[in-house]
Structure 1
Amino acid sequence: MYEERDMGTICTILRRELGAYFNTPIAYVVIFVYLIISGAFYVHFGFNSQAGDLRAFFEWQPLVMALLIPALTMRLWAEERQLGTLELLMTLPVRTWQAVAGKFLAATGFLAVMLLCTLHLPFFLGWLSNPPGPDWGTVVGGYLGCLAMGMMYISIGLFASSLTRDQIVALIIGLAICVMLWLIGFPVFVTMIREFSAEVAVWVQNFSIVPHFESISRGVLDTRDLVYVVSVGGFFLLLTHLVMERRR
């Protein structure tokens, strides 16, 4: 009975947040910008009709999502505080973890819509490639990797939004953390660190999303990569819960 009630509460918050996304221009702007940037990176850095894969598309997703997902999550808590609805939400019979879960799942649902808007790419590539047909194992792995990575970024953005009532400040905090997780795995940055200490370079690179996403996007499911994504995402969701619990 309690489990059904808990799920019902989460679903109510999820529907409310999804509706808020698609009732504002930000949702359509983000999807449009995502498609333009992803397509531009793909065309500029590696379009090859003979390759039959989407490596050039997937390899830039850690950066593209790091730049865009904080724009999706910046309003999730900050707007509630601006409008004064956070106090109302927290006085309702809604547990903090239910509110966090509902908002997280709503942003994840929007992320899934973003990814669905790019599904024409593998079919278009398959039509152009010789022999026809992309490597579907890589395609599926790449999209699963994008979803997992995006969920991790969402948890970071959710935490950033919980810290302030200003959406721009939440955007900046989310961007800083997400971009840092990408930057510390960038080859140029790793090479610079390696000049001082090879051990530190390895540690820093392992903390970045880049090597973990590369494995998943190739269709290689390594438990270390899954543990990384779940651990980082879970850590920031826990921080969000603690921040919001203190505001009750």
Structure 2
Amino acid sequence: MRVIIVESPQAVAQCAADLVCQQLRQHPDSVLGLATGSTPVALYQALIQRYRSNQLSLSQTTSFNLDEYVGLPPSHPQSYRHFMEEQLFRHTDIDPGKTHVPDGMSDTEQSASAYEQAISDAGGIDLQILGIGQNGHIGFNEPGSSLSSRTRVKTLTPSTLEANRRFFADDEFQPHLAITMGIGTILDCRQVLLLATGKAKAEAIRRCVEGPLSAACPASSLQLHQHATVLVDADAASGLEHSEYYRWCEEQRQRLGHPSGH
């Protein structure tokens, strides 16, 4: 696992944008896995800025989002399809026909199976962007999720519902179910890039990177991935026992000219 520690949330966004752009320069037709939530927004803003300055094109890429609420139509302001349209898609040259978000409105079991098949038909995901919940979830794989799980419906924990409540009005329906890529689906991605900022994520990052491999912290499954990068700011890294070693390792990678090494 590669751990990159930078000093600020802004630096996380810019470094993540560098890694995404590097991937697309090498493989313009890459399949990207995308995440929602507050942390990836700054990354998407950085990508939009680079598109507008002709440093980036998404015209040949295909995207698959991690998850979607069950019961919200794509046009709903709190749906993740709407989120992606507003935060990234409509501001770039990505082909709308190549953007995929799980269908939370029809037969969910069939939708989940079809989503897995669509990822396979696209050749698999080259680079998956992840956030992390305070309880260690990735996607909506809550604690206790099977480490070999595939795309399916999950019941959200009370802590996840509370964390997301700020996005919904007091009298607005907030789904308790979501379709999410499974942990096994995520581990199949060729590269994984997990982003985290702020002290509220420090304990989850500690458990992800240095804790035991356990379904109690779904993000710890990334310890099994051969090409996983955890990119965090100083606050999110504050619980890491070996943070100085990770900084030193990154310095050596840069010195040796292998910035993308794992």
User: Which band: TM-score by shorter chain?
Assistant: under 0.3
TM-score (norm 2): 0.26
Question: What TM-score results when the alignment is normalised by the length of structure 1?
Answer: 0.27
The structure that is helix-richer by fraction is 1
